[in-house]
């Protein structure tokens, strides 16, 4: 799911919200989209899981209806203060985030080798030698003016 934006890598992000109406909930979803994020899952009136980069997460933290934003499991000292109706969302997020951590899912996983900011892997030695030989041949052809 990892993608890159101009300001960074999109990461699954848990957004704990405190709203009383679906209109308020939809306003936050619209803000996420306006920031360039993408909603992945919703727990209406409780939480949203969205793909956000660092700047987008910062933009949401300033919203008065956002309690907190997290990319890692929610610590138990925060969970104990949450209302019962929010616990399923928090527990689902923690199960996902913990699995992500244990399986080593990286923010870079899923990128093509030629994605911006990444370099291709080094080719095997015999391929490098073949490429160097071919480059030498092409330079000789350019100097002599002959082309195939």
Cα(25)–Cα(10) distance, integer angstroms: 22
Coil/strand/helix, residue 119: coil
Residues spanned by the domain of 69:
4-103
Q: Does residue 63 fall inside a structural domain?
A: yes
What is this structure's pTM? 0.64
Q: Does residue 126 fall inside a structural domain?
A: no
Name the domain count of the chain: 1
Top-confidence residue, 6 or 21: 21
Q: Does residue 54 fall inside a structural domain?
A: yes
Q: CA distances (Å), 135 to each of 118, 138, 141, in order?
A: 24, 5, 10
Q: What is the pLDDT of residues 15-57, one digit of tens each?
A: 999 999 999 999 999 999 999 999 999 999 999 999 999 989 9
- pLDDT higher than 50, residue 10: yes
Which CATH number does the domain housing residue 75 bear? Answer: 3.30.70.80
- pLDDT higher than 50, residue 1: no
Task: Tell me whether strands 66-70 and 11-17 are parallel, antiparallel or unpaired.
Answer: antiparallel
Q: What is the pLDDT of residues 121-145, one digit of tens each?
A: 677 788 888 889 999 999 988 888 7
Q: Does residue 51 fall inside a structural domain?
A: yes
From its phi and psi, is residue 104 left (phi > 0), alpha (psi between -120 and 50) or beta? left
Cα(40)–Cα(19) distance, integer angstroms: 19
Q: Does residue 66 fall inside a structural domain?
A: yes
């Amino acid at each position: 799911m990892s993608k890159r934006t101009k300001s960074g890598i999109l990461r699954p992000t848990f957004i704990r919200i405190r709203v009383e109406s679906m209109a308020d909930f939809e306003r936050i979803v619209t803000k996420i989209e306006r920031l360039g994020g993408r909603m992945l899952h919703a727990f209406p009136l409780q939480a949203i899981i969205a793909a956000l980069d660092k700047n987008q997460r910062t933009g949401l933290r300033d919203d008065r209806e956002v309690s907190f934003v997290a990319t890692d499991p929610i610590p138990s000292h925060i969970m104990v203060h949450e209302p019962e109706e929010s616990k399923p969302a928090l527990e689902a997020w923690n199960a996902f985030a913990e699995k992500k951590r244990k399986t080593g899912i990286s923010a870079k996983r899923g990128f093509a080798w030629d994605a911006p900011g990444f370099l291709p892997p080094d080719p095997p030695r015999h391929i490098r030698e073949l490429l160097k030989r071919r480059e030498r041949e092409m330079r000789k052809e350019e100097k002599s003016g002959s082309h195939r």
